[in-house]
Structure 1
Amino acid sequence: MDVLLERQGHVAVVTVNRPHRRNAINRATADTIAETFAGLEADPEVRAAVLTGAEGTFSAGMDLRDFPEQGRPSVPGRGFAGFVQSPPRMPLVAAVEGWALGGGFEMVLACDLVVAAEDARFGLPEVTRGLTARGGGAFRLPRRLPYALAMELVLTGAPLDAPRAAGHGLVNRITPPGGALKAAIELAQTVAANAPLAVAASVQVVRRSADWPDEESFARQDEWFDPVFASADATEGARAFAERRAAVWAGR
């Protein structure tokens, strides 16, 4: 199977399983990823997800060998790889080993948190192939890295190593080689242990607020946050704090 799914409590682990193609994405794989995330979004027990690639490579991006016959591996409404245009509602953690190139890097940029092995490398080499980073890389990268560095990566196609990426805030955790998935699952489990309504609303506000005008920001966030403050989980959180015990979240 080109896409593997594993559940660890409230965390789902989605693995691109095409090591013979360096986990490059073709249309069939994009369709499967889209279906996988759609299924996870419909499951209230899934509170966070981890995305990774099999056998030491995150993803080499678009499968150029299949491109002439299958076309771009993009799903209408969801974009490249079946999710970069419309990421799933739950927090998404990228676990990066080896290369994340082109669309593979754009998959990372569509995630909320990034854990990378210290020898991982990121790059947008599209301009060296007569293409452009149209899976979100050209506009998401400057939001995650300083402008000059983002522009250099986009225009030269040069790679960025994980330590430098972490130094500029693109990567949350650095691990020894082979340790990214374990650390990413641990990070996702930490997220999933929190109140699910609060996490879900916070994710949406952080994702959506980049272009909100200051005079509208509080009103817009309240659309997401008012239901959280009125929830049973908010009452449970306050009560658990007062009683010095772990909260038991109901997701309502």
Structure 2
Amino acid sequence: MTQLTDAVLVDRLDGVMTITINRPEVRNAVNGAVSFGVCAAIDELDANKQLRVGILTGAGGTFCAGMDLKAFSQGEVVRVGHRGLMGLAYTPPQKPLIAAIEGYALAGGFEAALACDLIVAARDAQFGLPEAKRGLAALAGGLLRLPRLIPQRIAMELALTGNMASAELLASFGLINRVTEPGCALERAMELAREITANAPTSISVSKRIINQQTDWSLSEMFSKQEEVAGDILNSRDALEGAAAFVEKRDPAWSGE
């Protein structure tokens, strides 16, 4: 495991990068060091061909309590320029990112989880957008992503009341992929990451892009738009390797091409 800053730990193992927010004394609240540290890790995830999937988690039994209000009130820069909080709000990574959540995922922490592609959460984890209680608004994606992922009226209630919701409640709306026993979120997230890394890099990349972009495609254009993204995947080296491995009854050796 390496440290990008004291506030962010990074581990790389078998194609999976685990990014850990490391400020447990303040429930992993996001100051400048966290924001820029996570952003740097995300950039490495996308740039390094050996890395296939990322996991974002928090140290000390909690995910992230959001922006560090003390740092914010003292004028510290806690956002990464045009990329927003942790470099995730406006520019999520191209590669799959899984949130592994224990404890609290609040405000910007919840919004970071929403920017991830998949969420694994402990059964007793709590989620919320409490910004309205502090004269703020959930502008790091909470007001935009959440109503696209769960019923709008539920998202509206969370934003207007600032109340918390349980992992099990949000899982019932389809927001969470795996609900685990407390203390097991990172382990289950790693299992999910390995299920992904077993598959072809080209297929993963194309599938993520299409699913993320298709929400704005009309019925008349969706297949042509899909073709623009998928390109020549049927003739890719990974497609040929996948077919050959099936016929030869062996594990495929993916090239990412």
TM-score by length of 1: 0.97
Which among 227, 230, 243 is matched to residue 222 of structure 1?
A: 227
Q: Kindly report the root-mean-square deviation, in angstroms, between the aligned alpha carbons of the 2 structures.
A: 1.1
Q: Which residue of 2 aligns with 1:7?
A: 12
Measured in 2, the distance between the counterparts of 1:43 and 1:227 equals 23
Q: Which residues of 2 match residues 50-199 of structure 1 at below 5 A? A: 50-71=55-76, 73-199=78-204
**Paired residues of 1:62 and 1:102 also in contact (CA < 8 A):** yes
Q: Which amino acid aligns with 1:234?
A: A
Measured in 2, the distance between the counterparts of 1:77 and 1:251 equals 30
Residues 24-44 of structure 1: CA distance to partner in whole angstroms, max 9, x if unpaired? 101222111111111221101
Measured in 2, the distance between the counterparts of 1:151 and 1:2 equals 32
Q: Which residue of 1 aligns with 2:30?
A: 25
Q: Which amino acid aligns with 2:163?
A: A
Measured in 2, the distance between the counterparts of 1:244 and 1:230 equals 21
**Paired residues of 2:119 and 2:178 also in contact (CA < 8 A):** yes
Q: What SS does structure 2 have at the residue aligned with 1:7?
A: strand
**Paired residues of 2:45 and 2:52 also in contact (CA < 8 A):** no
Q: Which residue of 1 aligns with 2:237?
A: 232
TM-score by length of 2: 0.95
Q: What SS does structure 1 have at the residue aligned with 2:202?
A: helix
Moved over 6 A (4+): none
Q: Which amino acid aligns with 2:134?
A: R
Q: Which amino acid aligns with 1:36?
A: A
CA shift at 1:20, angstroms? 1.1
Q: What SS does structure 2 have at the residue aligned with 1:143?
A: helix
Q: What SS does structure 2 have at the residue aligned with 1:65?
A: helix
Q: Which residue of 1 aligns with 2:251?
A: 246
CA shift at 1:183, angstroms? 0.3
Q: What SS does structure 2 have at the residue aligned with 1:81?
A: helix
CA shift at 1:77, angstroms? 3.1
Measured in 2, the distance between the counterparts of 1:224 and 1:48 equals 20
Unaligned runs of 5+ in 1: none
Measured in 1, the distance between the counterparts of 2:108 and 2:114 equals 10
